[in-house]
Structure 1
Amino acid sequence: MNRVTLTTAMSALRQKLSELFSAQRAPAGYQPGRTLGQLRRNLGLARFEWVSPTLARAILDDDSLHLEICERTESQLLMHLVMTEFSLRLPASTEGAAHFELHHGGAIRRTGICCRQRTGERALLGQLQACLQPDSALHGALMLLDFKRLHIELHGRQWLVRLEHMGGSEVVNRMPAFRRYIALSRVQRDALLAVLAGLQRVLRTL
């Protein structure tokens, strides 16, 4: 490798390391745990345990649902967003690897729930859809729920559900300076818990 090539490679490496460091660095004005604390009040669950400033575990009062809730940030020009993600982990009856994404169908009005497979064996998609479609309670809650992302993943012998709601989030602007917390309403709170409970019910059959 000549000197020019080496210099170019080193420059590219420094740039990548700089980008990686910037991506991991918390945005200016971010207050870890602030958004999660406000979401805690929206949820109104007695069993809410802090694991770290940005991670908590919550359990329904009847012990039927165990959740992890974490904060994550997204930097934009002169502002940043703080989102909360709900995670549900369940044992799987079969071993494999797959990644599915659920979203609402319809451009203007919601016309249904679509399930898209990102990775994994195609046969798993049919099995998942066959369990999701007959569950009218789950379908109704999903149609009502204002979610941004809903992923179902299979890792070995464990299912992982990751759900990010549109509420329970915060917008922080630097110029002009303001903070706005987008609350999780009571209706959305109930729909959220119903969806997570429904997915737990469905995935336990797979």
Structure 2
Amino acid sequence: MTVITTLRQKLFELFRADRAPSGYRPGVTLAHLRRDLGLATLEVDGVAFEIVERTESQLLMHLVLTECVLRVPAAAGGAGSFEVHHGGAIRRSGIHVRRRAGNQALGRELQARLQADSVLFQALMPLDFKRLRIELHDQQWCVRLEHMGGSEVVNRMPAFRRYIALSAEQRVHLLATLAGLRRVLSGL
């Protein structure tokens, strides 16, 4: 019985989710992304945003992913959690909002505003994002945008490390999207 318990404890320690992956260099991917953005300060239309880094461990490799986080005061109270994604199986055909929690009417209003703002829509359509979450809590909107670029792949066998840069074109779309989201959410 003690051998099984010890073995289980060792396996738990080996595969703990909160443990940093082997070879992870905190802040290095953030520095690369800051260079790609080319901004002295992380601001869009005078509103500051932040970039956070997180890791995803997989067998013999890990990913270092970055998220742009934008906080916008909400015009009204309430709570909700929404995911934004591109529509279309092969070609992007639009922007869709999926409600995760909260008021269904708020999700429909968010969808309508994202599509009605032509500048934001034009920036979102070519933007290569992996995740775009928008949450409302305590009269504040929190946008978390994870772009495909600005990330790093680290493999142990064979050993390699590759940073996926944010292109100049994607940089323009990313900053325009953050500015547009700030504009749309500040009135909602």
TM-score by length of 1: 0.83
Match of 1:42 among 8, 28, 36: 36
Match of 2:62 among 80, 84, 87: 80
Residue 88 of structure 1, CA deviation: 0.4
Match of 2:109 among 117, 123, 127: 127
Q: Give the superposed CA RMSD.
A: 2.1
Cα distance in 1 between the residues matched to 2:158 and 2:106? 49
Question: Rg: which structure is higher?
Answer: 1
The residue identity in structure 2 corresponding to 1:164 is: E
The residue identity in structure 1 corresponding to 2:177 is: V
Match of 1:59 among 43, 46, 54: 43
Cα distance in 1 between the residues matched to 2:120 and 2:159? 40
Hey, what does 1:53 align to over in structure 2? none
- Partner SS, residue 22 of structure 1: coil
- Partner SS, residue 110 of structure 1: coil
Kept in 1, the 8 Å contact 2:95–2:115? The answer is: no
Hey, what does 1:116 align to over in structure 2? 98
Hey, what does 1:26 align to over in structure 2? 20
Residue 129 of structure 1, CA deviation: 2.1
Match of 2:78 among 91, 96, 110: 96
Residue 130 of structure 1, CA deviation: 2.6
Cα distance in 2 between the residues matched to 1:64 and 1:87? 15
Match of 1:156 among 123, 127, 138: 138
Residue 33 of structure 1, CA deviation: 0.7
Hey, what does 2:174 align to over in structure 1? 192
Contiguous gaps of at least 5 residues in structure 2: none
Tell me which protein shows more strand as a share of its residues.
1
Residue 19 of structure 1, CA deviation: 6.8
TM-score by length of 2: 0.91
Q: How many residue pairs were aligned?
A: 183
Residue 94 of structure 1, CA deviation: 1.2
Percent identical: 69
Runs of at least 4 residues of structure 1 off by over 2 A? Answer: 18-21
- Partner SS, residue 21 of structure 2: coil
Sort the Cα spacing of 1:123 and 1:20 in 2 relative to 1 into closer, same or farther, 3 A: farther
Is 1:182 aligned to 2:167, yes or no?
A: no
Cα distance in 2 between the residues matched to 1:156 and 1:122? 18
